[in-house]
Amino acid sequence: MSAGGSDGTADRPADQAAEEEEGPSQAGSAMPSVELPRKRKGEVEERQILNFNLEDDLCRSEEEDQQVKMKCFREPHRQIEKRRRDKMNNLIDELSAMIPACQPMARKLDKLTVLRKAVQHLKALKAGASGAFTDTKHKPSILPQDELRHLLLRAADGFLLVVRCDRAKMLFISESVSKILNFSKLELTGQSLFDFIHPKDIHKVKEQLSSSEMLPQQRLVDASTGVQVQADAHVRPSHLATGARRSFFCRMKHSRVTGKHEDKHSLPGVSKKKETYRYCTLHCIGYMRTWPSSQLDPEADCTDKETSSLNCLVTVCRLHPPVSHQPPKDVNIKATEFVTRCAIDGKFTFVDQQATTVIGYLPQEVLGTSCYEYFHQDDLQHLAGKHRQVLRSKEKVETQCYKFKTKHGSYVMLQSQWFSFTNPWTKEVEFIVSSNKVVSGPGNAKDESEAGSSTLAHEEAKQILEIPGLSTGVGMMIYAGSIGTQIANELGDTYRANSSPSSEASSPFGSVQEKCPLTSRSTSSREEEAGSSSHSQSLADSSKEASGSSEAECRGESSQLDLDVPGLSSFSSDEAAMAVIMSLLDSDVNMGQSGDFEDLHWPF
Amino acid sequence: MTADKEKRRAISREAARRRRRVESDVFGDLSRLLPLQASVRAHLDKPSIIRLTLSFIRMQALLRETESAGCNAEAGHAVRFPRGVEAGEGRLFESETEEIAPLDETKMYLKILEGFLMVLSTTGDMIFLSDNVSKYMGLSQQTELMGHNIFEYTHPCDHEEIRHNLRLTAELGCSQKRDFVMRIKSALTHRGRVGNLKSTTWKVLHCQGRVKLCVASSSVSCLLLTCRPLPLSHTLLSTHTFTSQHGMDMRFTYCDQRVTSLLGYRPEELLGRSIYDLCHTLDTSCLNKNHLNLCLKSQSVSGQYRMLVRSGGYVWVESHSAVIPGVQPSRSRPNPSQPLCILSVTYVLSGVEEPSLQLSLDQTFPRYPR
């Protein structure tokens, strides 16, 4: 570092820092899309950095800096100097921003002045401040111990609790408990812990406090091998000495009423009938510790004095943020709304209990059946289109208003948002989540009659789903259920067509070195795939016999089903839908005859 | 001519030297004013001195803001044990104070939490770190870390998420919580010794905390976070937890017997099932985030979510998971060429809620006697 002059030495570590700084950013740009640590050889804790560029940037020792820089980056020395100066200037600017004396200056102050003002400022702070300079017990630190402790508890949203193991008496609680449980420290100290724990968790907490004899076998899971190792069942009493860790969740009471507990004179234990208690979940982490009993609990009676030491649990109880209690942002549920989950073929696999108030059915009555069985005939086409759309899109799909058949035969007007969930690893759709809301009241008798064939008269060929002569509800159910299956089959074909090369490239984990096959093909889509190939064959066959203008389209479309993947997107058109439905009919009925459906007989 | 030039150069060199000396002196003054250990002070370079000065000033401003805002009523004094006044209670307090205070309560907290405290500015500067950070990162708190920017030390792919968490929202309430997982550099060898920079690896940290808003000047607003490395091995006690192994797509490949008493499923019933099927639909996004964290960062803590109980209803649970090389329970040494799998420890938090409710298809199937 010849150019640096006499202060070159002092600045060298800064240079190194500068180079380290730019290391990651350079590496960031040079780095391939590697996310997963490639670390699975041997110890799990040892993580090697994948990107060797990044590693190189970090590995500089000072002497090598120059050389390697010249070799690898070919940067002139003045660039390094410039960066160093820039960094220093930035720091000086930040410093002047933080010093009140520097604020009102119109022009930018020079380096030396800022530094001098900083010195003055520190002197002033030292005169006024307390802990940092007067705390002689601990080693000097930017933040005095007390403040550090305070900040910690704020950040952790927790309180310290020391509890006797044998009696569960709370020996010490930090002040911060008042923020979390709304009880003052006074009210809790000396009380039994079990008075404040949710009744169902008492057993769990007792276990955590209990001595080694009562302790069930500790099971250690060694994550490097995934093997469960049974610890020795006969654990020595010294196991309870400092070090034995505890980590558990429990629910503790917290009082809803604030402000009443500030009064230091209120005795703990007075019943507060007017207040209701709710429970909040706490994550308790800590360890066991032994203390001389006489100092800790002077109220202990004589028999205790025999045991000279008390086993206590020292734990920090953190309020567990109930993040998932809030409804997830993408699914908002109100009273007249309910949520359902369907497999990709439209069969209900989850129905939330609020559905009953809307559709009349209990969840178990609906589970396992296809959603198409409840859709009104008029809406089938539009909903089938949406079904296809949602399976191929990452976005939420909104349906128009549609009728849903309730238990009592009437229809209720719903509008839904559908969202297909894709497994982040396999990138395949696993299920569809639907949040449904009521748009208007249940349908009246007029709606009911439409379920039959009476609408045939005023429906155009556009309403391709009208099956002339179809009047039995049972028949329609069979037919409707197939729609979902067919749509699911199409998706299976898409996956097959898109499999191996393209899907690995599209995955953000594409760099995954492990050969992780798309294992989730073992879903129902596999069966449908197998089924669909023969299915499409029969489609192609039977479409020959289908009369009418749809014939050509049928054949064309069904060949698209097999071969032309981009053509799948055109399935949302009327003709395509018609073709599919027609071919469905053919295959279901297994007719291979003319397309005259007047006297269609369903096998029921 | 040249002699003149030489003289002028000599003069300017002398002037420069003088300037540099003055500057060094001021830097020296500054470093002596900072509450630092002597050994640390001796090795500070100029940028570090400025960084530490900045940290000090910011922390002082933060603490002053804390007191004045009244957000925390107990700001300066409450962490000290009250020297009890009433007769009966006084004794208890005093005895506690004697016993616990010398134990260095702060160190106790840090030891219990198994993590360190980080104060982050809105631009990502690590204004303050508790000194046990060297235990986790292998880098020295004061010279190498304090005042630097967190983006220099974290995995590039996590930067977006960190930036998102640094954003302050407009509301002035005291309780903006943060909870996320990120990967940070660690210069520790796997034995726990401090290696040099050649051996930096990524460590997964679970960061939880809150925003500390400063009304007066937004540059003082910051994030208070406790950062704990996610443990890779757990000490379990028997009830209310169970372990499970999953493929990378979250389908069960193994589940221990506990699940039967907690959720009613037999382990065999679960193999090959996706965890998404077994949980309440509204928790899909929570599980999704957990899954993504696992795929990207290899470790994760889910939030609280609901798992459906076999016979009806659900329980609230929380899972701590990690990606490990897949093993059969009988083998003790993992084969490097084995596929990855996810190991999950699930804590059951609540009792069975709404046991008569059947929400999913699984719950409708009658149990067959064994």
Out of A253-262, A475-484, A508-517, B356-365, the most confident range is B356-365
A309 CB-near residues (< 8 Å, 6+ apart): A290, A291, A292, A293
What DSSP element (H or E) covers A251?
A: strand A245-255
What DSSP element (H or E) covers B117?
A: strand B116-121
**What pLDDT was estimated at residue B22?**
92
Q: What percent of chain B has pLDDT over 90?
A: 13
Q: Which two tokens stand for residue A554?
A: 């049928």
- How close B370 gets to chain A, by Cα (Å)? 24
| For range A55-66, the mean pLDDT | 50
Whether the CB of A247 is below 8 Å from some CB of chain B: the reply is yes
Between B14 and A481, the higher pLDDT residue = B14
Between B285 and B196, the higher pLDDT residue = B285
Q: Model ipTM?
A: 0.80
Handedness of CA A484, A485, A486, A490 (dihedral sign): positive
CB contact (8 A) between residue B99 and residue A55: no
- Cα–chain-centroid distance for residue A279? 24
DSSP state letters, B290-342: HHHHHHHHSEEEEEEEEEE-TTSSEEEEEEEEEEEE---TT--S--TTSPEEE
**Preferred mutation among A25, A122, A135, A142 to probe B, highest tally of B CBs within 10 A:** A142
- How close A101 gets to chain B, by Cα (Å)? 13
In single-letter form, the type of residue at position A556 comes to: G
Q: Closest to A323 (Cβ–Cβ): which among B17, B78, B303?
A: B303
- How close B169 gets to chain A, by Cα (Å)? 17
- Region of poorest pLDDT, from A11-20, A315-324, B163-172, B339-348: A11-20
**Preferred mutation among B110, B126, B177, B349 to probe A, highest tally of A CBs within 10 A:** B349
| For range A551-565, the mean pLDDT | 33
Whether the CB of A351 is below 8 Å from some CB of chain B: the reply is yes
- How close B281 gets to chain A, by Cα (Å)? 7
A487 CB-near residues (< 8 Å, 6+ apart): A344, A345, A346, A384, A387, A388, A391
**What pLDDT was estimated at residue A281?**
87
Per residue in A159-180, pLDDT (tens digit) is: 888 888 888 888 888 888 888 8
Q: How far apart are CA A159 and CA A177, in angstroms?
A: 5
Question: Following CA atoms A457, A461, A464, A470 in sequence, which dihedral angle do they give, to the nearest 10 degrees?
Answer: 30
| For range B100-129, the mean pLDDT | 78
Chain A residue with the nearest C-alpha to that of B155: A24
Taking contacts as CB-CB distances below 8 angstroms, the residues of chain A near B162 are none
Inter-CA distances, A27 with A31, A439, B104, Å: 5, 54, 42
Chain A residue with the nearest C-alpha to that of B58: A98
CB contact (8 A) between residue B100 and residue A94: no
Whether the CB of A259 is below 8 Å from some CB of chain B: the reply is no
Chain A residue with the nearest C-alpha to that of B89: A186
**What pLDDT was estimated at residue A94?**
85
Out of A151-160, B78-87, B215-224, the most confident range is A151-160
CB contact (8 A) between residue A251 and residue B349: yes
Is the Cβ–Cβ distance between B101 and B33 less than 8 Å?
Answer: no
Which H, E and C letters describe A195-224, residue by residue? Answer: HCECHHHHHHHHHHHCCCCCCCCCEEEECC
CB contact (8 A) between residue A149 and residue B109: yes
**What pLDDT was estimated at residue B11?**
92
Taking contacts as CB-CB distances below 8 angstroms, the residues of chain A near B280 are 350
**pTM of full prediction above 0.95:** no
Whether the CB of A175 is below 8 Å from some CB of chain B: the reply is yes
- Separation of first and last alpha carbons in chain A: 93
- Region of poorest pLDDT, from A340-349, A553-562, B39-48, B285-294: A553-562
Confidence band, pLDDT 50/70/90 cuts, at residue A532 = very low
Ordered strands of the A277-292 beta sheet: A170-173, A158-164, A309-319, A277-292, A245-255
| For range A377-394, the mean pLDDT | 88
Confidence band, pLDDT 50/70/90 cuts, at residue B287 = very high
pLDDT at A372 > cutoff 50: yes
Residue closest to A150 by CA, chosen among B212, B80, B217, B220: B80
> ∠ CA A546-A547-A548 to the nearest 5 degrees?
130
Is the Cβ–Cβ distance between A406 and A361 less than 8 Å?
Answer: yes
DSSP state letters, B15-41: HHHHHHHHHHHHHHHHHHHS---HHHH
**What pLDDT was estimated at residue B13?**
92
CB pairs under 8 A between A and B: 429
Confidence band, pLDDT 50/70/90 cuts, at residue B222 = confident
Per residue in B124-142, pLDDT (tens digit) is: 888 888 888 888 887 777 6
pLDDT at A107 > cutoff 80: no
**What pLDDT was estimated at residue A320?**
76
Inter-CA distances, A50 with A509, A513, B104, B338, Å: 14, 11, 41, 19
**What pLDDT was estimated at residue A433?**
92
Q: Closest to A245 (Cβ–Cβ): which among B50, B235, B339?
A: B235
Q: Which two tokens stand for residue A234?
A: 């006969």
pLDDT at A1 > cutoff 90: no
Handedness of CA B99, B103, B107, B113 (dihedral sign): negative
Q: How far apart are CA A350 and CA A363, in angstroms?
A: 8
| For range A104-125, the mean pLDDT | 83
Inter-CA distances, B355 with A251, B313, B314, B363, Å: 20, 4, 7, 11
**Preferred mutation among B248, B255, B259, B337 to probe A, highest tally of A CBs within 10 A:** B248
CB contact (8 A) between residue A47 and residue B202: yes
Q: How far apart are CA A312 and CA A164, in angstroms?
A: 4
Per residue in A430-470, pLDDT (tens digit) is: 899 999 988 865 444 344 434 333 333 333 333 334 433 33
Chain B residue with the nearest C-alpha to that of A267: B89
Q: How far apart are CA A255 and CA A284, in angstroms?
A: 19
Out of A17-21, A109-113, A328-332, the most confident range is A109-113
- How close B265 gets to chain A, by Cα (Å)? 17
B220 CB-near residues (< 8 Å, 6+ apart): B58, B61, B62, B65, B214
Is the Cβ–Cβ distance between B272 and A290 less than 8 Å?
Answer: no
- Cα–chain-centroid distance for residue B316? 23
**What pLDDT was estimated at residue A294?**
58
